[in-house]
Amino acid sequence: MKKQVVVIGLGRFGSSVCRELYALGHEVLAIDQDVEKVDAVNDFSSQASVANATDEKDLKSLGVRNFQHAIIAIGDDLQASVLCTLMVKDLGVEKVWVKARDLQHQKILEKVGADRVIQPENEMGIRVAHHVDSEKIVDYIELSKDFSILELAATKKVINRSLEELSIRANYNCVVLAIKQDEHVNIAPVQEDVVKEGDVLIVMGHREDLKRFEDKGL
Ligand code: ATP
């Protein structure tokens, strides 16, 4: 479904969110106070405008209130980031996701109503650590403090065996959500499906159970 998203702050993080959303077919309004940053995303957004994100008049005249989703990616200027979050939330934008510099910044943003706070360097650091920890892990999504989804490369231990034989749910309390082979994704694997060489298993579970499966089941 096409979404209307406003991206405020077009540094490295904001501009890559903007370009990717636009490439995915969404309507993206890109805002920055720096004309060069705005020019750089002109061809990669539905509309790119120079405006001060802490000026309510600017935000109103750009129609920010009509957007369902806002991404606020002002990292360094804490005051601007907090003020902008407050105003965008007050304008009635349903989902306001904000980039934070550190934990203190994150706590303030949560207090003023940010629906999600992102610390990209922190999150990427955790992701990289998991990749280093286990080369079997292709990707990692944290659902909550305890639950995650892992993309795990199939090893000799599971190749040519069916999901029924592997009994991953019974043995490890983990659920195989999908099986990926290059661009092909089997999103509803059944018990008879056999794991093939080059498959990636997308598995959800408690982090301890996932660790157990990764160590003993793969
Ligand atoms: P990066 O994503 O590159 O790491 P960063 O965290 O260093 O970015 P900043 O450089 O502080 O973040 O800000 C990102 C962008 O936000 C910059 O392009 C800056 O011009 C813009 N910005 C900062 N304050 C405002 C404001 N009040 N109104 C509009 N844009 C702003």
CATH code linked to domain 4-118: 3.40.50.720
**How far apart are the CA of 11 and the centre of ligand 1, in A?**
5
Pocket of ligand 1 (CB under 6 A): 9-14, 32-34, 37, 52-54, 73-77, 80
Radius of gyration for the chain, computed over Cα atoms and rounded to the nearest angstrom: 21
CB atoms within 10 A of CB 30: 29
Give the predicted TM-score (pTM) of the model: 0.77
Inter-residue contact 70 to 12 (CB < 8 Å): no
**How far apart are the CA of 45 and the centre of ligand 1, in A?**
17
Quick one: pLDDT at residue 3? 93
Quick one: pLDDT at residue 127? 82
Q: Is 47 exposed, middle or buried (0-12, 13-18, 19+ CB in 10 A)?
A: middle
Q: Is 71 exposed, middle or buried (0-12, 13-18, 19+ CB in 10 A)?
A: buried
**How far apart are the CA of 69 and the centre of ligand 1, in A?**
18
Inter-residue contact 210 to 182 (CB < 8 Å): no
Q: Which of 32, 82, 97, 122 to mutate to test the pocket of ligand 1 (most atoms within 8 A of CB)?
A: 32
Question: Where do the structural domains in the chain lie, given as residue ranges?
Answer: 4-118, 123-217
Rounded Cα distance, 205 and 122, in Å: 22
Distance of CA 142 to the CA centre of its chain: 10
Quick one: pLDDT at residue 47? 97
Quick one: pLDDT at residue 138? 83
Q: Does CATH number 3.30.70.1450 belong to domain 123-217?
A: yes
Two structure tokens written together for 74: 């002002």
**pLDDT tens digit string along 139-173?**
888 899 899 999 999 999 999 999 999 999 999 99
Kind and range of the H or E element at 152?
strand 147-153
Quick one: pLDDT at residue 140? 84
| pLDDT < 70 stretches in the chain | none
**φ, ψ for residue 60 (rounded to 5)?**
-65, -45
Kind and range of the H or E element at 109?
helix 103-111
